[in-house]
Amino acid sequence: MGPKWTESYALNLNIKTEAFSEYLKVVVSGDQSREDAFAVIRLIRTLANEQAIERVLVDGRELTSRLHPADIFSISEHLAESFGQRVRVALVYRQEFIDGFGETVAVSRGARFTVRDTEPQGRAAAGHVRPGDSHRSHGGPSLAGDAAG
């Protein structure tokens, strides 16, 4: 049997989550916005709290638009406020979107956050390198109606 995914939607994004024994994997795709990023952070925070998860791998390679630097700044601040040192987050992102700005903002505000361009690099950076991790089944909250607040 394959992995158990939970799918959710936030405005313009498709979000899939997969829980392993050591970490949570979140795959996001679509046309991203500041509001979508905030909704994804809320979802991750909820799942991390419910399941006592301390490591998260976000695969954002299928995001189709580049965000404005002001949006990146506010998203990075929100990520740091939401997780601080408690949850380590690694974002796997398209090489052409990586400039270090968001990572610098989040880390300078206390987040354990890194951005890489391949999934193996992201897993290693976030500290979840076990290839045989077992899945944790979960329902996960839907983001429908939760994106605004």
Question: pLDDT, tens digit, for every residue of 50-79?
Answer: 989 999 999 999 999 889 999 999 999 999
The single-letter DSSP state of residue 14 is: E
**Would you give per-residue pLDDT tens digits along the chain (149 residues)?**
334 445 555 568 899 999 888 899 999 999 989 999 999 999 999 999 998 999 999 999 999 988 999 999 999 999 999 999 999 999 999 999 999 999 999 999 999 999 999 999 998 888 754 444 333 433 333 333 333 33
pTM of the model: 0.79
What is the model's pLDDT at position 146? 33
Structure tokens at 94: 């398209």
Mark out the alpha helices in the chain (DSSP H runs).
Answer: 34-51, 69-83, 101-108, 119-126
Give the integer Cα–Cα distance in Å for 7 and 24.
14
Give the integer Cα–Cα distance in Å for 19 and 39.
18
What is the model's pLDDT at position 6? 54
Enclosing H/E stretch for 20: strand 13-20
- Give the list of residues 6+ apart from residue 140 with CB closer than 8 angstroms, or none: 6, 8, 17, 43, 47
